[in-house]
A and B are shown apart, each in its own frame.
Chain A
Amino acid sequence: MRLLKDIISIVVVAGTVSVVINLFNPHGFVLVSRSSLDQRRIVPISAEEAMIKYDADMAVFIDAREKAEYDYAHIRGAVNIPVSDAAAKQGTDEKFSFLDRSAEVVVYCDGPGCGASESMAKLFLDRGYRRNVYIIQKGFPEWELREYPVERGE
């Protein structure tokens, strides 16, 4: 019993010392919570990097814009999940079944300020997706500008 008490006290003192030293150490760690770790799994990429994934056929492209915008023009092969729609159907939709597959996920919306990609990425992480979610930082306009494959509605 005394042994156990001694062991616990040594571990507690060592833990406290390590945290205090870490606070003042320039080589220390930033101790983060789980949610900020999740935040780091949302990785912004350029259209060029997205194109590499597209060419290699290793990613599912998700269009987070509204259906009308998607119908007008979208990345060829992309799946449309409007972010408002996705939030409403959270937990039931089989549209999300790709999350269980090994493919990477690239999300895009209308540009750097649109925010839909990020909310969508957060939604995926909330649903238990364990890998990085890539978002095309400058969105569909950059993709279009570079004349990468686009599908247009009639």
Chain B
Amino acid sequence: MSGESGIKRAISSMLYGNRLTVVIRILLGAMLVFSGSLKIVDPEAFGRVIARYDILPEALIAYAALMVPALEFMVGLSLLIGCKVRASAFIAVLLMAVFLVFISVNMARDRRFDCGCFNVGILGLDFAETVGPWLAIRNVLFITGFALVFRARRHLFSLEHYIEKSRLKNLEKTKYE
């Protein structure tokens, strides 16, 4: 009985925003900064990756190849430092959902190719991830993580939290003066 209520308590504390949500936020934010910055330096290569999925019309590929890495980087940075966390998490959920659609459509077409998720070739690493169920599951996990961060009300160790705390402190100070 007490175990069950313990789990419940853990879940509600996570939904409110505890240290675990902070870890998730920072890890996912760092991941987005990493993948965004690798793609931002070579939009042409990322354009070829998008074209490989064969979903977007050719005219839009250039814009997507420019916009997606910049968004990933910005959103990742905001999550990492904890500024505009809810908006960033929301955009991240949308981005991941779009990636999931792209992956699922190509799985349904029975196509298997390097997903180009992190563009690590630029670092001289030979590491390829193939489009497949594992990738889809990973994306669902990412979506869950970002959704959790979006849902959380309190973000410890964040710029927002720090600003709010100092505002309240000042408020209290002025109250007794």
Contact = CB atoms under 8 A, between A and B. Distances in A.
Interface of A: 3, 6-7, 9-11, 13-15, 17-19, 21-22, 25, 27-29, 31-32, 34, 37
B54 interface: no
B135 to A, nearest CB: 24
A29 B91 contact: no
Given A21-B70, A29-B44, A10 B65 contact: no
Contact of A29 (B41, B66, B73, B75): B66
Interface magnitude class on chain B: 20 to 34
B45 interface: yes
30 contacts: A3-B87, A3-B90, A6-B84, A6-B87, A9-B84, A9-B87, A10-B71, A10-B75, A10-B78, A10-B87, A10-B91, A11-B91, A13-B74, A14-B67, A15-B67, A18-B66, A18-B69, A18-B70, A21-B66, A21-B70, A22-B43, A25-B41, A25-B42, A28-B43, A28-B66, A29-B44, A29-B66, A31-B62, A32-B62, A37-B59
Contacts, number: 66
Which 9 pairs show the lowest CB-CB distances between chains A and B?
A: A6-B87, A18-B70, A29-B62, A14-B70, A18-B66, A14-B74, A27-B42, A14-B71, A7-B87
Contacts of A22: 43, 66
Contacts of B44: 27-29
Contacts of B45: 27
Interface of B: 40-45, 47, 59, 62-63, 65-67, 69-71, 73-75, 78, 84, 86-88, 90-91
Contact of B90 (A7, A14, A25, A32): A7
Contact of A27 (B43, B62, B84): B43
Contact of B86 (A3, A14, A17, A29): A3
A79 to B, nearest CB: 29
B44 to A, nearest CB: 5
Contacts of B87: 3, 6-7, 9-10
Contacts of A7: 87, 90-91
A31 to B, nearest CB: 6
Given A10-B78, A10-B84, A18-B67, A25 B43 contact: yes
